[in-house]
């Protein structure tokens, strides 16, 4: 009997155009999000591949044109590192469209080069790049609202509610059947998109897939619980629709924008500009100072380089020049650390605030597990700093001894690759689950009041 009731409920639900239109919108936009997300990441892979070829070509050209002066070769030659996007990056692009994924810098002062990025149309940055995570975060909730806002109110407005109450004492069970039908339809659509994403993006069947699947199911469950809570108030269809849309705007648009303003105001980063100024002053002011002002702190930084003879009698030497460049970076250390501390504080604030807002929490977790969040970019920058330091220490002796460039292994050094470490904060799953359970409990409490189910 119950099976027949569910079959009838499914037929009633699917007989209306709302169901098919909603499912079609989700599938079409989901497939489009997959295509655009993969195309965006494929383009980055293409750029990285070209950069690897150009790294070798440019090195050979520099050796050919400036090979008689080893210091000049390294003045022009760039060393590159690429932040390789993982397969999940096509699912959630995150901040890969605003942060540089390819860093190319010479052996000169690094702090003036590491933040360089491509020139991008600001209108494009404003609109962002579409991916399938956008569909899950913003479009699925709207379709859930469209499916559930008039679940009870429509029965009341058409006079069916009183007849239904006269025929059964299990009103909540009837309501649950209607809600379950819509829940199954949405989850089935979500699983179709997830399965397509796994195949299209060549995603591995691992714990990351399990965690993201659980995260998205919890997120969709949260919106069903929220709708369940609103319709349990027994208001009209207009009220339910208005309330749910208002909550969607609040949770998905207003609150994230407000939190961003709070972040900017609470944790401003004037150190970003100061960092560049300190680096430039630390280098340029050395031109007008005695060489000892540069070389003393330089040798204190690299005591192992004291063994190389410093040509103090020359008005210019690459030894002194690269020492000046290093002093520029050293003078910017305090402002760099202050900026990193501010960014860490922003990250901490965002993670704490996200515990109370499932949309923000879900987006943060998706970006974290896809390796496309701010933390992954900061890891990339730190990895390049270590690589740049290794390059300096490797070639400094050859430069200071003015060796023949062909005696070095410069031609063998190609583009380095960085793979971000994926992280997952399971506290986020717990926070969404707790909020969802609270909403369900409130709904059941409302439904048990006779005055709300008359």
In 3D, which of 114, 120, 77, 74 has the Cα closest to residue 96? 120
pTM above 0.85, yes or no: yes
State the pLDDT at residue 291: 85
Q: Are 366 and 208 in contact (CB under 8 A)?
A: no
pLDDT at 160: 65
Neighbours of 159 (CB within 10 A): 8
* CB of 245 closer than 8 Å to CB of 223: no
Query: What pLDDT does residue 276 have?
Result: 74
- Residues ≥6 apart with Cβ < 8 Å to 412: none
Q: Where are the domains of the chain?
A: 2-275+326-452
- The answer to whether 90 touches 133, Cβ cutoff 8 Å, is no
Per-residue pLDDT of the chain (454 residues; tens, 9 = 90+): 456 677 777 787 777 788 899 999 999 999 999 999 999 999 999 999 999 999 999 999 999 999 889 999 999 999 999 999 989 999 999 888 888 899 999 999 888 888 776 666 565 656 667 899 999 999 999 999 999 988 876 667 656 666 656 566 666 777 788 888 899 999 999 999 999 999 999 999 989 999 999 999 999 999 999 999 998 888 888 999 999 999 999 999 999 999 989 888 888 777 667 777 777 777 777 787 888 888 888 999 899 999 988 888 888 889 999 988 888 888 888 888 888 888 888 888 888 899 999 999 999 999 999 999 988 999 999 999 999 999 999 999 999 988 999 889 998 888 999 988 776 667 789 999 999 999 999 988 887 774 544 4
**Residue 15 burial by CB count (10 A; 0-12/13-18/19+): exposed, middle or buried?**
exposed
230 burial via Cβ count (<10 Å: 0-12, 13-18, 19+)? buried
What is d(CA 55, CA 63) in angstroms, rounded to the nearest whole number? 12
pLDDT value, residue 235:
85
């Amino acid at each position: 009997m119950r099976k027949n009731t569910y079959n009838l409920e499914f037929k009633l639900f699917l007989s209306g155009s709302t169901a098919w239109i909603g499912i079609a919108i989700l599938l079409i936009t989901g497939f489009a999000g997959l295509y655009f997300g993969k195309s965006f990441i494929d383009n980055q892979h293409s750029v990285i591949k070209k950069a690897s070829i150009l790294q070798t070509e440019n090195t050979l050209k520099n050796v050919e044109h400036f090979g008689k002066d080893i210091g000049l070769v390294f003045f022009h030659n760039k060393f590159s590192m690429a932040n390789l996007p993982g397969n999940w990056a096509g699912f959630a692009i995150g901040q890969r469209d605003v942060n540089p994924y390819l860093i190319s810098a010479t052996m000169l002062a690094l702090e003036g080069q590491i933040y360089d990025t491509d020139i991008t149309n600001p209108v494009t940055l404003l609109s962002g790049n579409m991916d399938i995570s956008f569909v899950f975060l913003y479009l699925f909730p709207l379709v859930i609202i469209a499916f559930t806002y008039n679940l009870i109110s429509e029965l009341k407005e058409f006079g069916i509610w009183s007849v239904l109450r006269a025929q059964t004492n299990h009103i909540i069970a009837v309501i649950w059947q209607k809600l379950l039908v819509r829940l199954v339809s949405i989850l089935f659509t979500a699983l179709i998109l997830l399965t397509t994403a796994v195949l299209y993006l060549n995603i591995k069947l691992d714990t990351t897939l399990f965690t993201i699947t659980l995260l998205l199911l919890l997120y969709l469950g949260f919106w069903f619980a929220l709708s369940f809570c609103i319709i349990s108030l027994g208001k009209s269809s207009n009220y339910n629709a208005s309330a749910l849309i208002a909550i969607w705007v609040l949770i998905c648009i207003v609150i994230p924008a407000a939190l961003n303003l709070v972040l900017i105001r609470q944790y401003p980063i004037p150190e970003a500009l100061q960092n560049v100024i300190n680096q430039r002053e630390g280098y340029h002011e050395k031109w007008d100072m005695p060489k000892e002002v540069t070389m003393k702190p330089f040798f204190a930084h690299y005591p192992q380089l004291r063994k190389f003879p410093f040509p103090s009698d020359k008005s210019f030497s690459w030894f002194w020049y690269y020492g000046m460049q290093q002093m520029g970076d050293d003078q910017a250390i305090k402002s760099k650390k202050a900026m990193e501390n501010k960014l860490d504080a922003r990250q901490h604030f965002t993670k704490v605030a996200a515990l109370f807002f499932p949309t923000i929490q879900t987006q943060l977790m998706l970006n974290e597990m896809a390796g496309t969040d701010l933390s992954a970019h900061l890891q990339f920058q730190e990895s390049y700093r270590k690589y740049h330091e290794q390059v300096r220490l490797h070639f400094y002796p050859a430069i200071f001894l003015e060796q023949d460039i062909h005696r070095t292994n410069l031609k063998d050094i190609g583009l380095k690759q960085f793979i971000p470490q994926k992280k997952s904060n399971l506290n986020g799953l717990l926070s969404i689950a707790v909020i969802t359970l609270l909403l369900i409990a409130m709904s059941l409490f409302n439904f048990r009041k006779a005055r709300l189910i008359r």
